[in-house]
Chain A
Amino acid sequence: MSETRPGQERFVAPIDETPLRAIDAVNVDAVPENQWKEAWKRLRTSPLFWLATTILVVIALMIFFPTLFTSADPKKLDLADSFEPARKGHPFGFTEQGGDVWARTVYGARASVAVGVFTTILVALLGIVTGAIAGFYGGIVDTLLSRFSDIFFSIPLLLACIVVISVLNNTFPDRGFWGSVLVVVAALATFAWPQITRQMRGAVLEIKNLEFVDAATAIGASKMRNLRRHIVPNALAPVIVASTISLGVFIVAESSLSFLGLGFPSSIVSWGNDISAAQTQVRSGDNLQVMFVPAAALAITVLGFILLGEAVREALDPKARKK
């Protein structure tokens, strides 16, 4: 042992005297963290996330407890009040028809957000299922599904909705609140799902050949179990981000349809209808609050969903994690 070997020129402490902090610090008994828990940890520290949450909580309160914000009746129209300026209890004055601008904005949240939420749920479900099937099974199933979704993708969303709703408007001229929501949701969802399908398909294709899926197969997981327990949960992250952002896009799309006279019937209080009804005022430059109050409410809501999507994207992105 007296011979000095290369690398032994310097004193080396015996292994049990060397604390290996990084390794010792690993708690072998700890439950493995999943990506959602980790993402939640990062989300909690993100100011963007809290800003978005605050906006969305306020909007949710407007939808479920509108009386907290206003005591006026949104449907009460009195022509004597036409374009009356603000007075007590009516902070933003009155519309051309004599409706309370603020009350209509508060109650209008329902219709717009309902369209956004239901369209997003429908689109996400359809897109996730079709995308997962196309990506996982590949071959002829993939080809058929992809070409089928291409057809819907080939008609620009708003143009498609223009046609669908102009047809349905004639077929069902009288429909209540939920009937109107259903028509807009159906039109938007029918032509919006291929985008999520494409995204999901891409993610599944990427993940299905990774080693951990092979490992699951090696310990006896069936194809279905692999898809459900291992592939889909890992492919969901980008889809959730895209869906949150598209929720805002659908709200904007609904208002654009209302602008064209194809969203909700005018009897329903909605942001799109109110903004659209106020357009004559803008040309002259008077009574601008009639347009800007509902427009601001809409923009802030959409911003809330987009910011939430951004925050979630940052929390789920492994590249951003390292910083």
Chain B
Amino acid sequence: MWWYVGKRLLQTIPVFLGATLILFILLQLRPGDPILNLAGNKPVSPEVRDALAAQYHLDDPLFVQWIQFVKSSITLDFGDTFSGQPVFDLIKQTFPVTVVLAIMALAIDAILGITLGTIAGLRRNGWFDSSVLVVSLALLSIPIFVVGFVMQLVFGVKLGWVEPTVGPDWNVGKLLLPAIVLAIANFAYTIRLTRTSVAENLGADHVRTARAKGLSNRLVVRNHVLRNSLVPVITYIGINLGSLMAGAVITETIFNIPGVGNAAYTAIQKGETSTVVAIVTFMVMVYVLMSLLVDLLYAVLDPRIRYV
């Protein structure tokens, strides 16, 4: 077990360095003089230029600048937005609502996806299975922002059950509809994965043994089929955090939620590339950390993993 944990931790380091290197290179590809950018594109005196260059390590070789970039990313120093606010302050203000939204979406995805997927898998090729399959295929083919607009229109504008947009005073109730929209993006995959996994396990030897022992169908499904089927599903849901964060950019924009995704969208609209890169760097860091946690959890859940 500890061998696996150590190995997995070591693997994270090159991945993190590589990811920051890619983001750093992209940042370098920005057109224009970074010093002029910093000074708001006004001409600067040589003294100011030297001071800025020293402050941001702009005269150092690129390699040193990259190390600096990694260092400041780890210490959560992402520089300033164009209006002078530190990017990390912006993230601190906006991140909590995104976390709440993501957790709600994950919960909806897991509960609905696993329930429907299990029923479909147990009654394979029945009418329920077929309709779940059709709905999940349809959901896969509609972009999440179209789903978002439709939900907003139906439940927000036409029926008036919820407020169409969230706005700065958010609460869990207001986030419910956006969370459903965000969950729908992954929901179809969760259903299909659970369904295949359950159907496969139904025919497994240990399930037949459990039935032969005379266990009730309920117990067989709960203790023998589900427990084994859920391992890949849980990993999948964990991995999906990445697409969840990308989805958050879109969902938060549609529903005007003051989250980190909305902040990224605003920065894109204003052409503040450095702020966009900083926010994405932060999101990638969260994602890499979360995948590490999920993998370790996976090793706890499934003993086979530890010995590979």
Give the B-binding residues of A (Cβ under 8 A).
Answer: 147-148, 150-152, 154-160, 162-164, 166-171, 248, 252, 255-256, 259-262, 275-276, 279, 282-285, 288, 291, 295, 298-300, 302-303, 306-307, 310
Contacts and interface: CB of A to CB of B under 8 A. Distances in A.
20 contacts: A151-B22, A152-B22, A154-B16, A157-B243, A158-B249, A159-B242, A166-B271, A170-B32, A170-B271, A171-B30, A256-B143, A256-B250, A261-B268, A261-B269, A275-B145, A282-B153, A283-B157, A285-B158, A299-B143, A299-B146
Given A166-B268, A171-B29, A285-B157, A154 B141 contact: no
Interface string B1-38: 00000000001001110110111001101111000000
Interface stretch (B41-49, B68-76, B284-292, B297-305): B284-292
Nearest to B244: A156
Given A151-B21, A159-B242, A255-B145, 5 more contacts: A159-B245, A162-B249, A164-B26, A259-B253, A295-B146
B161 to A, nearest CB: 15
Contact of B277 (A156, A163, A256, A283): A163
Interface residues of B, number: 54
Contacts of B138: 299, 303
Contacts of A275: 143, 145-146
Nearest to B140: A306
A248 B284 contact: no
A310 B137 CA distance: 10
Contacts of B249: 158-159, 162, 260
Contacts of A255: 143, 145
B143 A162 contact: no
Contacts of B243: 156-158
B149 interface: yes
B145 A302 contact: no
Contacts of A159: 242, 245-246, 249, 280, 283-284
Q: Which of B30, B137, B141, B152 lies at the interface centre, i.e. has the most chain A CB atoms within 10 A of its CB? A: B141
A248 B138 CA distance: 12
A303 to B, nearest CB: 4
A151 B19 contact: yes
Interface in B145-193: 145-146, 149-150, 152-153, 157-158, 164
A167 B284 CA distance: 17
B82 interface: no
B264 interface: yes
A154 B283 contact: no
Given A256-B145, A295-B142, A156 B157 contact: no
B246 A167 contact: no
A49 B212 CA distance: 40
Given A275-B146, A285-B158, A162 B264 contact: yes
B242 A284 contact: no
B29 A167 contact: yes
Given A156-B243, A302-B141, A303-B141, A167 B14 contact: no
Interface in B259-275: 264-265, 268-269, 271, 273
B287 A154 contact: yes
Q: Which of A148, A159, A303 lies at the interface centre, i.e. has the most chain B CB atoms within 10 A of its CB? A: A159
A163 B15 contact: no
Given A163-B277, A171-B29, A283 B164 contact: yes
A261 B253 CA distance: 12
A260 to B, nearest CB: 6
Contact of A170 (B137, B250, B273): B273
A166 B253 CA distance: 17
Contact of A150 (B11, B153, B268): B11
